[in-house]
Structure 1
Amino acid sequence: MARIVITEFMDERAVAQLRARHDVLYDPLLVDDAPRLMAEAAAADAVVVRNRTQVRGELLAALGRCKVVGRLGVGLDNIDVPGCESRGMAVIPATGANALSVAEYVVASAMLLLRGAYASTAAVAAGQWPRNALSSGREVGGKTLGLIGFGSIGQLTARLARGVGMEVCAFDAMLDQDHPAFTQSGVRCAGLDEVITMSDVVSLHVPLVDSTRGLLDGARIASMKHGAVLVNTARGGIVDEAALAAALRSGHLGGAAIDVFGAEPLVASPHFTNCSNLLLTPHIAGVSAESNERVSFLIADKVLEALS
Structure 2
Amino acid sequence: MKILVTELMWEDGLAELRRLGYAVDYDMELSRKREELLELVPNYDALIVRNETRVDSELLDAATNARVIGRLGVGLDNIDLKAAKERHIPVISAKNANATSVAEYVMAAMLDASRPLSDADADVRRGSWDRKFFTGYELNQRTLGLVGMGEISNRTARRAKAFGMDVIGYDPFVAPFDHILAETGVRAANTLDELLGESDFISIHVPLTNDTKHMMNKDKFSLMKPHAYVINSARGGIVHERDLVDAVESGDIAGAYLDVLEKEPVEADSPLAQVESIRLSPHIAGLTDEAQSRTAMLVAQEVDRVLHGGRSICAVV
TM-score, reference length from structure 2: 0.93
User: What's the counterpart of residue 211 of structure 2?
Assistant: 211
Indicate if the aligned counterparts of 2:141 and 2:166 stay in contact, CA closer than 8 A: yes
Residues 113 and 254, structure 1, Cα contact 8 Å, conserved in 2: no
Amino acid aligned to 1:149: G
- Aligned partner of 1:157 in structure 2 is 156
- Letter of the aligned partner of 2:149 in structure 1? F
Matching residue of 2:299? 299
* Amino acid in structure 2 at the alignment position of 1:157: T
1:201 Cα deviation from its structure 2 partner: 0.3
- Are residue 168 (structure 1) and residue 167 (structure 2) matched? yes
Distance 1:301 1:269 in 2: 42
SS at structure 1 position matched to 2:119: coil
AA paired with 2:77? D
Q: Indicate conservation of the 8 Å contact 1:4/1:24, yes or no.
A: yes
Deviation at 1:132, TM superposition (A): 2.3
For the pair 1:41 / 2:41, whether they are aligned, the reply is yes
Q: Unmatched 5+ residue regions in structure 2? A: 309-317
CA distance in 1, matches of 2:112, 2:74: 26
CA distance in 1, matches of 2:306, 2:89: 10
Give distance in 1, aligned partners of 2:176 and 2:268: 42
State the one-letter code of the partner of 1:40.
L
Q: What secondary structure, in the 3-state scheme, does the structure 2 residue paired with 1:96 have? A: coil
Give the structure-1-normalised TM-score.
Answer: 0.96
Structure 2 distance, partners of 1:299, 1:179, is 27
- Residues 221 and 201 from structure 1, CA distance in 2 versus in 1: closer, same or farther, beyond 3 angstroms? same
**Is the CA contact 2:71–2:299 (under 8 Å) kept in the aligned structure 1?**
yes
Q: How far does the alpha carbon of each residue in 1:66-101 deviate from its partner, in whole angstroms, 9 at most, with x for none? A: 010000000111100111111111100001100000
User: One-letter code of the match for 2:144?
Assistant: L
Q: Note if 1:103 corresponds to 2:106.
A: no
Deviation at 1:180, TM superposition (A): 4.1
Match of 1:124 in 2: 124
1:46-57 superposed matches below 5 A: 46-57=46-57
Equivalence for 2:243: 243
Take 1:57 and 1:251, find their aligned partners in 2: how far apart are those partners?
Answer: 44
**Is residue 92 from structure 1 mapped to residue 92 from structure 2 by the alignment?**
yes
Where structure 1 has 5 or more consecutive residues not aligned to the other structure, the ranges are none
Is the CA contact 2:57–2:83 (under 8 Å) kept in the aligned structure 1?
A: no
Q: Deviations over 1:226-247 (max 9, x none)?
A: 1101100111111110111122
Greater shift, 94-103 or 15-24, is seen at 15-24
Displacement of 1:131 in angstroms is: 2.0
Residue of structure 2 in register with 1:199 after alignment: 199
Aligned length: 306
Moved more, 247-256 or 77-86: 247-256
Determine the structure 1 residue equivalent to 2:146: 147
Of stretches 296-305 and 250-259 in structure 1, the one that deviates more from structure 2 is: 250-259
What's the secondary structure of 1:40's corresponding residue? helix
Distance 1:291 1:231 in 2: 20
SS at match of 1:104: helix
Shift of 1:145: 0.3
Q: Deviations over 1:260-302 (max 9, x none)?
A: 1111222224322442322201111011000000000000000
Cα distance in structure 2, aligned partners of 1:185 and 1:132? 36
The Cα shift of 1:116 comes to 3.8
The equivalent residue for 1:185 is 184
Is the 1:114–1:138 Cα contact (8 Å) retained in structure 2?
A: yes
In angstroms, what is the RMSD of aligned CA positions?
Answer: 1.3
Identity of aligned pairs, percent?
40
d(CA) in 1 for partners of 2:76, 2:269: 26
In 1, are the aligned partners of 2:168 and 2:187 still within 8 Å (CA)?
yes
